[in-house]
């Protein structure tokens, strides 16, 4: 798979949910052609090199025919604030696609749970789309948690993507009151059939909880991790996390989120050491 550095034209940059989450639509035909769900791009937010480092973002939509990619991003600091001020017609420099995306489950998979926390939903939407097309017989259930209802992507968005959406909000303004892991515990206790595979993306605390649960029940999973990134290319070691990928004779070691990830099989991360 080829990586490209590409000057992408901004087709639109608009709020999607709440005040601080945006959808950046980019004409980037070379990257769109190669991109897969779960991979990411490094964005140079400004030509002035302020901020100095590129910022990583997952693909929210990939349109290979039109040569368009989308990013869904939350404003959290300097880079994303500057990005939110970019206007249609301006350009941003991209590097990508990077990393390893979501792998498909076996053909005979019957029940898939896709678990999203907050802005983690953005990486899972192209994954859901891929599962819909390539594993059409599997039942796809989305568990989607946020702090409050105004942060949710509306349910109409998911109609064609999954069979069922179970929401949770911390303040109870929509769906289950509490965090998404409590919502899952509640449904499991009620007798919900356990999944054959899990796909997850969201805050680390959520991923750790689900990973322990999946491992305890021997349920395979594909987990999309975030970490602070310097290069995105496996060169700076800034994104290393404790992992279980074999290095030489040693079982333990560290994995690069940018290079071996950001999507990992659940057993490849040492969750208790994160």
Site of interaction with ligand FAD (CB under 6 A): 40, 51, 55-58, 71-74, 76-80, 119, 122-123, 226-229, 257, 262
Which residues in 244-263 contact ligand FES (CB under 6 A)?
Answer: 256, 258-259
**Residue 105 interface partner, choices ligand FES, ligand FAD, none, CB cut-off 5-8 Å depending on type:** none
Query: Are residues 177 and 168 in contact, defined by beta-carbon separation less than 8 angstroms?
Result: yes
Query: Are residues 270 and 45 in contact, defined by beta-carbon separation less than 8 angstroms?
Result: no
**Residue 242 interface partner, choices ligand FAD, ligand FES, none, CB cut-off 5-8 Å depending on type:** none
Mutual orientation of helices 204-216 and 180-189 as an angle, nearest 10°?
A: 30
**Given the complex with ligand FES, which of 29 and 230 has the nearer CB atom?**
230
Closest approach, Cβ 248 to ligand FAD, in A, equals: 26
Q: Tell me the C-alpha distance between 92 and 71, whole Å.
A: 12
**Under rule CB under 6 A, residue 119 binds ligand FES:** no
CA dist list (Å): 154 to 159, 174, 271: 10, 11, 32
Closest approach, Cβ 155 to ligand FAD, in A, equals: 21
Q: Which residues make Cβ contacts (< 8 Å) with residue 113, sequence separation at least 6?
A: 141, 142, 143, 184, 195, 197, 198, 199
**Residue 236 interface partner, choices ligand FAD, ligand FES, none, CB cut-off 5-8 Å depending on type:** ligand FES
β-pairing verdict for 40-44 and 91-98: antiparallel
Closest approach, Cβ 103 to ligand FAD, in A, equals: 16
**Given the complex with ligand FES, which of 127 and 258 has the nearer CB atom?**
258
**Given the complex with ligand FAD, which of 23 and 187 has the nearer CB atom?**
23
**Residue 235 interface partner, choices ligand FES, ligand FAD, none, CB cut-off 5-8 Å depending on type:** ligand FES
Binding residues for ligand FES, how many (CB under 6 A)?
13
Burial of 65 (0-12, 13-18, 19+ CB in 10 A): exposed
Which residues in 196-235 contact ligand FES (CB under 6 A)?
Answer: 229-232, 234-235
Provide the CA 218 distance to its chain's centre, in angstroms. 23
Residue with tokens 């087709």: 11
- Contacts with ligand FES by CB under 6 A lie at 229-232, 234-239, 256, 258-259
């Amino acid at each position: 798979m080829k990586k490209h550095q590409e000057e992408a034209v901004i087709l639109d940059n608009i709020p999607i949910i709440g005040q601080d989450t945006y959808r950046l639509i980019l004409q980037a035909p070379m990257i769109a052609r190669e991109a897969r769900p779960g991979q990411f791009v490094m964005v140079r937010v400004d030509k002035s090199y302020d901020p100095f480092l590129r910022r990583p973002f997952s693909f929210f939509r990939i349109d290979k025919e039109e040569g368009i990619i989308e990013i869904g991003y939350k404003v959290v600091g300097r880079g994303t604030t500057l990005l939110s001020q970019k206007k249609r017609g301006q350009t941003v420099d991209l590097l990508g696609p990077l990393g390893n995306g979501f792998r498909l489950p076996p053909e005979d998979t019957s029940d898939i749970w896709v678990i999203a926390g907050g802005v983690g939903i953005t990486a899972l939407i192209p994954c859901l789309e891929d599962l819909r097309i390539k594993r059409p017989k599997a039942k796809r259930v989305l568990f989607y948690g946020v702090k409050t209802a105004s942060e949710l992507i509306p349910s109409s968005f998911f109609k064609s993507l999954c069979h069922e959406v179970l929401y949770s909000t911390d303040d109870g303004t929509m769906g289950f009151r509490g965090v998404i892991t409590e919502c899952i515990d509640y449904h499991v206790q009620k007798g919900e059939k356990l999944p054959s595979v899990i796909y997850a993306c969201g805050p680390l605390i959520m991923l750790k909880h689900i990973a322990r649960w999946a491992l305890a029940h021997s349920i395979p999973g594909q987990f999309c991790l975030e970490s602070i990134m310097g290069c995105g290319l496996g060169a700076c070691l800034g994104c290393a996390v404790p992992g279980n990928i074999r290095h030489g004779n040693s079982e333990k070691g560290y994995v690069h989120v940018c290079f071996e990830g950001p999507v990992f099989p659940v057993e490849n991360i040492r969750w208790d050491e994160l």
